[in-house]
């Protein structure tokens, strides 16, 4: 009993309360039982005349009244506030009434077995008592104490009565009440345990169901579970929100198609749902596909995925991907369109051309493409800043779009290059006229940030038969035509011709040969001497790069250097010339230096100073014998970078010269800020100084300014004795470079020429070849 009582202590309080509450249910059976008990005892009284049974009837009435009052009080009790001790008190109150009723029945039955030989009295009392004991299982299973006490209270008087009757058969029969009582007790306990397990299981199932419902309700995805008949079994709150289906409680068991088409009024879904969406849903529910993107509207895009269930049916899971789709569209737009001008970028422009070319019957016999290059756009960025440059590009894109409206598709390639595609043109002459007209109309002044910026364009164009267009060919032809325009002069329009292709191919072959020559170290060097004005001192030699093509012979420096700049290998040539010049100079008399030209590309090379220092160390040449020449135009293009680079080079002990001095726009203003040791006055100031007095005065003024800044002077391009005489007369130069003394010579001839100059002077106009 203590073990069982301990077991009850582990029953949760709410379950314990439900068991005790079950004791106070079924009042009608209680009333019915009391009436049956009283009628039975009254019948026995009438049969036997024993007034004892009337006393027992009175006891029944008192106990019944007590129990009814207990039931009334229990009904008024606040069940939610009951403690476990209070619940136990109500259990004991009920057990008292129930055990009292059982005891009265047991006493009546035991008395009948002891006092009467009348079979009816015994049978009636025992039958009612046993029936009441059987009902204990169904009525009092909720309390072990009630079952145990009622069984004992009923059976004990019957056993005592049968034993006192001194009838061996009654005694044996009464002993059968012991297994009967145990069986009743076991049955009641079994019912209670079964119900307890079911209550606990139901509670757990309720918890799981609640958790499942909470999880479903808080999912960020919509979920619909369908049975094999396409009817909704489970739908979560998010699904109802995404599909605007209202209260989900009324949707269980409804057909999905009906719900989507007719379920809710005033939603984006109605009976006329697009057939494509219906088809997609049908494919998902039928297992023909497992994922689909559905565009319900511009503001709602849902992505569905489906999973077939083993028992049939399908689970649909979907989410709102509108933001993701919009982001993808934005990314796609950014990939396709230039973020600055809003024009199609190169790749997408090509796609547009290809797409339109593939439309049958949309084109005339000819199409045209034109590329526009903004002339001197870098100059705008340098003078007015990149923000103004960007605004200028936007203004150009706007004007081109307006000019091309209805005629051409405009795109932006890279930087300041724009491209136009002209479809649907019947006559070649009309197409060329349209392109020339657009090119001319794009010229003019652009108002940007309060400034009027004049702009012109170099244009290259190509006319193609629409039936023979190859997407890989026209970009190359456009580049060739643009190259021809820029080579002629600024602002030109050039239409591609086949002979340009031949020149282009020839230039491409020349590029390949030049790269091979640079890789094989085949660039050679000759030297242009610089003499003192009297011709007796050879002070320095300028290194000049030369390239001898194995088939074409000597290639002019202005040609192959320009090609090298286009290819981006001019710095490699500079390094080769520098290394060879240092090696050659090391074999000359120590009084002779060597001068090497630097290009703007060399100044952009961040480690130029380190490269020069390393070559000097490798060749063993003193830095004082090395002169580096920088053109004035390269200084203007890369002023800040050039100043820092020249400072580093000068710190090594290298002499810095400005080449072609006087040909730029702002050279005089840079003389006092740049680390310059020598200026080489351009040959244009010397050409006609004998006939043009103004030019001689300009030369003398530049010389006077340079000498005032303690800068050395070299005059280039001196070719006649008359020019030399005037320069000497007015003391305009420290060194003379030109054919008047010597043409460019090989490195092996330098020492001999220096020796000859020192002994006899150099006096001939052509010098030594």
**Tens-place pLDDT, residues 10-19:** 677 777 777 7
Q: Which CATH superfamily is domain 219-326 in?
A: PAS domain (3.30.450.20)
pLDDT tops 60 at residue 769: no
pLDDT tops 70 at residue 306: yes
Domain at 527-760: CATH architecture: Alpha-Beta Barrel (3.20)
Which tops the pLDDT comparison, 159 or 724?
724
The ranges assigned to domains in the chain are 2-203, 219-326, 339-496, 527-760
Asked whether this chain's domains 339-496 and 527-760 adopt the same fold, the reply is no
- Give the model's confidence band at 768: pLDDT under 50 very low, under 70 low, under 90 confident, else very high: very low
* Percentage with pLDDT > 70 across the chain: 84
Contact 170, 48 (CB under 8 A): no
Cα 763 to chain centroid, rounded:
75
Question: In this predicted structure, what is the pLDDT of residue 532?
Answer: 92
- Give the model's confidence band at 767: pLDDT under 50 very low, under 70 low, under 90 confident, else very high: very low
Query: What does the block give as tokens for 600?
Result: 């703007």
Quickly tell me which residue has 């209270």 as its tokens: 153
Q: Which CATH superfamily is domain 339-496 in?
A: Reverse transcriptase/Diguanylate cyclase domain (3.30.70.270)
Question: Over the stretch 354-410, which tens digit does the pLDDT of each residue have?
Answer: 877 776 555 667 788 899 999 878 777 767 788 888 888 999 999 999 988 878 889
Question: In this predicted structure, what is the pLDDT of residue 763?
Answer: 65
How far is residue 150's CA from residue 553's CA, in Å, rounded to a whole number? Answer: 131
Minimum mean pLDDT range among 403-417, 456-470, 516-530: 456-470
How far is residue 585's CA from residue 607's CA, in Å, rounded to a whole number? Answer: 23
Burial of 560 (C-beta count, 10 Å sphere; 0-12/13-18/19+): buried
The reported pTM is: 0.51
Bridge partners, residue 735, by sequence? 714
pLDDT tops 80 at residue 104: yes
pLDDT tops 50 at residue 4: no
Quickly tell me which residue has 């090609």 as its tokens: 563
Which tops the pLDDT comparison, 268 or 713?
713
Cα 30 to chain centroid, rounded:
75
Question: In this predicted structure, what is the pLDDT of residue 605?
Answer: 67
């Amino acid at each position: 009993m203590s073990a069982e009582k301990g077991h009850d202590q582990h029953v949760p309080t709410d379950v314990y309360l439900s068991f005790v509450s079950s004791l106070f249910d079924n009042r009608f059976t209680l009333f019915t039982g009391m009436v049956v008990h009283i009628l039975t005892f009254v019948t026995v009284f009438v049969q036997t005349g024993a007034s004892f049974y009337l006393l027992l009837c009175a006891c029944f009435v008192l106990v019944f009244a007590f129990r009814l009052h207990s039931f009334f009080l229990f009904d008024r009790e606040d069940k939610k506030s009951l403690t476990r001790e209070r619940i136990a008190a109500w259990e004991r109150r009920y057990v008292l009434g129930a055990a009292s009723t059982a005891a009265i029945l047991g006493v009546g039955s035991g008395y009948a077995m002891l006092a009467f030989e009348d079979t009816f009295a015994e049978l009636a009392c025992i039958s009612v008592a046993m029936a009441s004991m059987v009902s204990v299982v169904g009525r009092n299973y909720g309390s072990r104490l009630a079952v145990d006490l009622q069984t004992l209270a009923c059976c004990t008087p019957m056993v005592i009565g049968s034993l006192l009757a001194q009838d061996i058969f009654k005694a044996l029969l009464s002993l059968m009440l012991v297994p009967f009582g145990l069986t009743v007790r076991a049955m009641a306990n079994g019912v209670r345990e079964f119900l307890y397990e079911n209550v606990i299981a139901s509670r757990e199932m309720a918890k799981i169901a609640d958790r499942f419902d909470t999880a479903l309700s808080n999912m960020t995805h919509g979920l619909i579970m369908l049975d094999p008949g396409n009817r909704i079994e489970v739908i979560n709150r998010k699904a109802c929100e995404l599909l605007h289906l209202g209260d989900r409680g009324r949707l269980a068991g409804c057909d999905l198609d009906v719900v989507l088409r007719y379920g809710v009024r005033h939603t984006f879904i109605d009976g006329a749902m697009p057939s494509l969406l219906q088809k997609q849903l049908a494919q998902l529910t039928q297992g023909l596909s497992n994922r689909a993107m559905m565009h319900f509207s511009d503001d709602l895009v849902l992505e569905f995925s489906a999973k077939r269930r083993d028992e049939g049916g399908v689970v649909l899971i979907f989410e709102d991907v509108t933001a993701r789709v919009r982001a993808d569209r934005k990314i796609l737009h950014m990939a396709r369109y230039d973020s600055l001008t809003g024009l199609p970028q190169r790749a997408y422009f090509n796609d547009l051309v290809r797409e339109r070319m593939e439309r049958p019957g949309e084109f005339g016999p000819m199409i045209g493409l034109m590329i526009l290059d903004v002339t001197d756009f870098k100059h705008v960025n340098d003078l007015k800043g990149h923000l103004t440059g960007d605004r200028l590009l936007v203004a150009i894109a706007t004007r081109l779009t307006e000019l091309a409206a209805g005629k051409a598709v405009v795109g932006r390639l890279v930087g300041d290059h724009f491209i136009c595609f002209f479809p649907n043109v019947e006559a070649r002459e009309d197409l060329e006229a349209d392109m020339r007209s657009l090119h001319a109309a794009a010229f003019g002044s652009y108002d940007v940030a309060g400034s009027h910026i004049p702009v012109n364009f170099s244009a290259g164009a190509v006319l193609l038969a629409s039936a023979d267009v190859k997407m890989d060919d026209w970009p190359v032809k456009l580049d060739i035509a643009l190259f021809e325009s820029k080579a002629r002069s600024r602002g030109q329009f050039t239409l591609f011709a086949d002979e340009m292709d031949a020149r282009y191919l020839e230039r491409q072959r020349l590029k390949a040969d030049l790269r091979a020559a640079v890789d094989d170290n085949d660039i050679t060097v000759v030297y242009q001497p610089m003499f003192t004005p009297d011709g007796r001192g050879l002070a320095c030699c300028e290194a000049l790069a030369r390239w001898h093509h194995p088939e074409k012979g000597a290639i002019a420096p202005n040609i192959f250097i320009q090609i090298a700049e286009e290819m981006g290998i001019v710095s490699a040539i500079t390094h080769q010339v520098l290394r060879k010049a240092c090696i050659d100079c090391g074999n000359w008399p120590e009084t002779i230096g060597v001068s090497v030209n630097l290009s703007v590309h060399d100044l952009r090379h961040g480690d130029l100073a380190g490269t020069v220092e390393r070559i000097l160390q490798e060749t063993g040449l003193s830095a004082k014998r090395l002169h580096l020449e920088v053109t004035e135009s390269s200084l203007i293009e890369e002023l800040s970078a050039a100043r820092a680079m020249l400072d580093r080079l000068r710190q090594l002990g290298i002499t810095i010269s400005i080449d072609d001095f006087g040909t730029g726009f702002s050279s005089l203003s840079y003389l006092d800020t740049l680390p310059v040791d020598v200026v080489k006055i351009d040959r244009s100031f010397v050409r006609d100084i004998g006939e043009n007095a103004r030019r001689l005065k300009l030369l003398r003024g530049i010389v006077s300014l340079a000498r005032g800044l303690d800068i050395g002077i070299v005059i280039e391009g001196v070719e006649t004795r008359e020019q030399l005489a005037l320069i000497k007369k007015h003391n305009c130069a420290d060194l003379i470079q030109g054919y008047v003394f010597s043409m460019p010579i090989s490195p092996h001839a330098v020492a001999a020429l220096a020796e000859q100059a020192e002994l006899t002077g150099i006096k001939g106009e052509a010098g030594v070849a």
